[in-house]
Amino acid sequence: MAAARVTRDVFGLLPDGRKVERIALRGAGGFEARIMTYGAVIQALIAPDAKGEYDDVVLGHDEFAGYLAERKFFGATVGRYANRIAKGQFSLDGETVQLAVNNGVNALHGGLDGFDCKLWEIADIDQGVEPAVTLSYVSPHGEENYPGRLDVRLTYRVTSPAELSLIMQARTDRPTIVNLTNHSFFNLEGAASGTSVLDHELTVAAEHFLAIDPSAIPLPEPPRAVAETPFDFRAPRPVGERIREFDQQLRNGRGYDHTYCLARDGELALAARLEAPRSGRVMELFTDQPGLQVYSGNYLDGTISGKGGKLIRQSDAICLEPHIWPDAPNRPDFPSPRLDPGGVYRHHSVYRFSVRSS
């Protein structure tokens, strides 16, 4: 067994000449997470299969140029507000805030130049038994028109032979909203396998989901029960088993692109389990967030190539994004994304890898 360790290299250069570093966190048994300072991206996640062979399980690019060429959020840290805000507008303490709209008429994933496009600073590296890197970014007041300076720190840590922990924290100097997530695209058969995730077995620990309109904004109604719908993943079943059924919600999302409502009170708990049929890889996602966006890669259209030179096509990956519910600034009945001075925004998620038991 190789000792747990951390290495770092220069992965690329920004157009202005600034260096983009990549930090590799290596577990004792071969598990490895490679983190890029641009966008605080999970650039690679190397996990074992049932035969003991290791492969990268997150989509992205082998070279830095691919991340700059087109904004697809592969492995990125998304903020200030993950998911959508209707019409890019919300009210805070009686003042209307107008954000840039970048997803039809709505604001998506932090706007035109979100946290996924920023060069984060390396604040700390832990070379111990549980190797870790802490990255930081300061978002100034008015960036993308969000109120308040936001000081963000996140830590990626390998916490077991095949487990990656992500802790995000943020503080502000005036009232604002914040909602962060990681936007990794998972294929547990391998990032360059060229296989669909529709045969991956998915379990989601949720009784309800948010129905959406055709622009992916939650409808003005309470969360819907998953029971007797194609959105019921309380027991494991293939992602694609019912994805082509005639269902208005599947039409609105072009597949799954919906928030599941997780029953938790800020405590870390199992949100989802994903299992690949051929490799036998299993990923369990634990989070303390109130929502989980399940996105079946509906807008991947084969126009760009990813790792191994493979074209990235629809259903080549699935995203499991823990965060506060979309459009929550406009929905007092939703969990609140508000952050005030003196308070601390916290997000903790854990990606635990194992193999199918025989």
Q: Could you give the residue numbers annotated as active site? A: 183, 321
Looking at the DSSP assignment, which residues form a beta bridge with residue 13? 19
User: Sheet containing 201-204: which strands, arranged edge to edge?
Assistant: 121-126, 132-139, 150-160, 163-172, 345-355, 281-287, 269-275, 201-204, 237-238
Residue 277 CB contacts under 8 Å (≥ 6 apart), including other chains: 199, 200, 201
Main-chain dihedrals φ then ψ at residue 257, nearest 5 degrees: -155, 60
Q: Is 220 exposed, middle or buried (0-12, 13-18, 19+ CB in 10 A)?
A: exposed
d(CA 139, CA 109): 15
d(CA 287, CA 337): 16
Number of H helices, E strands in the chain: 2, 30
221 half-sphere exposure, CB direction, 13 A CA radius: 10
- Rg for the chain (alpha carbons), in Å? 19
Residue 179 CB contacts under 8 Å (≥ 6 apart), including other chains: 79, 80, 81, 82, 83, 323, 324, 328, 337
d(CA 80, CA 262): 21
Closest CA to 111 of 139, 69, 151: 139
d(CA 309, CA 36): 20
